[in-house]
Amino acid sequence: MVVAESKPQPKVKKKAVPIPKQPPEVRKHNFNEVALGYTEEQALEEASRCLQCPQPQCVKGCPVEIDIPAFIKLLREGKYEEGIKKIKEKNSLPAICGRVCPQEEQCQKYCVLGKVGDPVSIGRLERFLADWERARGFTIPERAPPTGKKVAIIGAGPAGLTAAADLAKLGHEVVIFEALHLPGGVLVYGIPEFRLPKSIVQAEVDYIRKLGVELKLGYLIGRTYTIPELLKERGFDAVFIGTGAGLPQFLGVPGENLGGIYSANEFLIRVNLMKSYAFPEYDTPIRIGKHVVVIGGGNVAMDSARSALRLGAEQVCIVYRRSREEMPARKEEIENAEEEGIICKFLAAPTRFIGDEKGWVKQMECIQMELGPPDESGRRRPVPVKGSEFLMDTDTVIIAIGRTPNPIIQRTTEGLAVTKWGTIVADENGKTSLEGVYAGGDIVTGEATVISAMGAGKRAARAIHEYLMSKK
């Protein structure tokens, strides 16, 4: 057994260096980034906590297999350029991942220091190096000689961008088709500016462009071209589908169509992509009431609630049908939301919405829940408590209970196997039921995480490369 793994040296500091943040009273009135990032001194201090384990457990928790101890070693030796290069061998979007990856459930969950104190803050160190590089200008890695093969990537979210970057580095000609007017997927239209500034997404997309990837914006595949057209008529040798899960789900309770009730998708697209928080400078107004209720317990619910607060709501309440322990949102973001004054009401679910004479929501009827035995997700199932209905006053409701895939590609691609949930069937390397067609990210797994979508893009890029190289 390796000594460093089983018995961390006592001189190692148990507490991680905290990340500086805007104070809650200030940040709840602006859309600027909440977490400000480590200074150089803080990054060096935190990096010095790493034990450089010979058999690092942290790497096993990283879906894109970054050599974590190697980049931390380079950082603490002051070799920042080499450090970011080490990360980028595996991850083309480090400034994004350093900000939004649920590291507490991935690399940091397995860090041996977590057994005696805080794990090493791997994500914050990754962010430090990525920000250091961006401030100085990106180094573009060498590309393999051209292979003469052409790959179409559908969707410019984390899955599509990662697959595109890896395929371009391998020498293929890569074109991304994106339906929206901006690349980034959920990174631009879902996650708010105060968690992930859009200039950072833009900079990392620019890096991918510089690798030689062509981006075609405003192309809705399934309408502009179909997949069979891309393969048979437009000269592509392979296709990767990374179209995500962008279709909102609704509750299906009476009154859901009243004015003042948004899906989280519509709300966040207006706020983030169309910048309604900067109205009238940007031409997208958004109506926000005094008493906002957000339904759901994931990152989408947290982002909606915190955005509503910043838009001027007096009170924002999250209503979640399970308890705090089952909340799928990142722990750090739940804490940030509560520090800002967001209220969480657990074990309750809406049963109907009540409108005023003009058709705007004014109240929500809820029912109390209790937790029964675990369901297929492994979490305890919420069960309504008979006769426990109660009313809540509200003038704005945001529904954030999940998203499913848009069916347009599935409907226009004959022979593409699809599950009953509308996700595309693909093996662990992204291979679908059609030759030369690969898929990965939320379109295959359903709603997941940025890094799992990137991991899928990476594996698919490897499989596409092998397929293309074996093809006469």
* For ligand SF4, the closer CB: 53 or 153: 53
Please pick, from the candidates 450, 460, 461, 464, the single residue that binds ligand FAD as defined by CB under 6 A.
450
Please pick, from the candidates 50, 182, 295, 434, the single residue that binds ligand SF4 as defined by CB under 6 A.
50
* For ligand SF4, the closer CB: 52 or 388: 52
Nearest to 454 by CA among 185, 180, 69, 207: 185
Per-residue binder mask for ligand SF4 (CB under 6 A), 99-118, x = binder: ------------xxx-----
* For ligand FAD, the closer CB: 164 or 349: 164
The verdict on 186 binding ligand FAD (CB under 6 A) reads: yes
The verdict on 204 binding ligand FAD (CB under 6 A) reads: no
Nearest to 142 by CA among 164, 183, 171, 120: 171
Options 277-285, 363-371, 374-382, 440-448: segment touching ligand FAD (CB under 6 A): 440-448
* For ligand SF4, the closer CB: 71 or 320: 71
Per-residue binder mask for ligand SF4 (CB under 6 A), 60-99, x = binder: --------xx------------------------------
Options 29-37, 158-166, 249-257, 347-355: segment touching ligand FAD (CB under 6 A): 158-166
The verdict on 179 binding ligand FAD (CB under 6 A) reads: yes
Which of ligand FAD, ligand SF4, none lies near 273, with the C-beta cut-off 5 to 8 A by kind?
Answer: none
Which of ligand SF4, ligand FAD, none lies near 289, with the C-beta cut-off 5 to 8 A by kind?
Answer: none
Three-state helix/strand/coil letters over the chain:
CCHHHHCCCCCCCCCCCCCCECCHHHHCCCCCCCECCCCHHHHHHHHCCCCCCCCCHHHHCCCCCCCHHHHHHHHHCCCHHHHHHHHHCCCCCHHHHHHHCCHHHCHHHHCHHHHCCCCCCHHHHHHHHHHHHHHHCCCCCCCCCCCCCEEEEECCCHHHHHHHHHHHHCCCEEEEEECCCCCCCHHHHCCCCCCCCHHHHHHHHHHHHHCCCEEEECCCCCCCCCHHHHHHCCCCCEEEECCCCCEECCCCCCCCCCECEEEHHHHHHHHHHCCHHHCCCCCCCCCCCCEEEEECCCHHHHHHHHHHHHCCCCEEEEECCCCHHHCCCCHHHHHHHHHCCCEEECCEEEEEEEECCCCEEEEEEEEEEEEEEECCCCCEEEEECCCCCEEEECCEEEECCCEECCCHHHHHCCCCCECCCCCECCCCCCECCCCCEEECCHHHHCCCCHHHHHHHHHHHHHHHHHHHHHCC
The verdict on 309 binding ligand FAD (CB under 6 A) reads: no
The verdict on 242 binding ligand FAD (CB under 6 A) reads: yes
The verdict on 413 binding ligand FAD (CB under 6 A) reads: no
Q: How far is the CB of 101 from ligand FAD (least distance, A)?
A: 5
Residues 252-281 that bind ligand FAD (CB under 6 A): 268
Please pick, from the candidates 27, 442, 460, 468, the single residue that binds ligand FAD as defined by CB under 6 A.
442
Q: How far is the CB of 72 from ligand SF4 (least distance, A)?
A: 6
Which of ligand FAD, ligand SF4, none lies near 363, with the C-beta cut-off 5 to 8 A by kind?
Answer: none
Please pick, from the candidates 102, 212, 297, 328, the single residue that binds ligand FAD as defined by CB under 6 A.
102
The verdict on 47 binding ligand SF4 (CB under 6 A) reads: no
Longest dimension (CA), the chain: 72
Q: How far is the CB of 431 from ligand FAD (least distance, A)?
A: 17
Q: Which residues on neighbouring strands pair with residue 263, listed in sequence order? A: 399
The verdict on 101 binding ligand FAD (CB under 6 A) reads: yes
Nearest to 126 by CA among 67, 77, 188, 61: 67
Name the residues that contact ligand FAD, by CB under 6 A.
Answer: 100-102, 154-160, 177-180, 185-186, 190-191, 219-222, 242-244, 246, 268, 299-300, 303, 330, 406, 408-409, 441-443, 447-451, 453
Residues that bind ligand SF4 (CB under 6 A): 50-53, 56-58, 68-69, 111-113, 120, 122
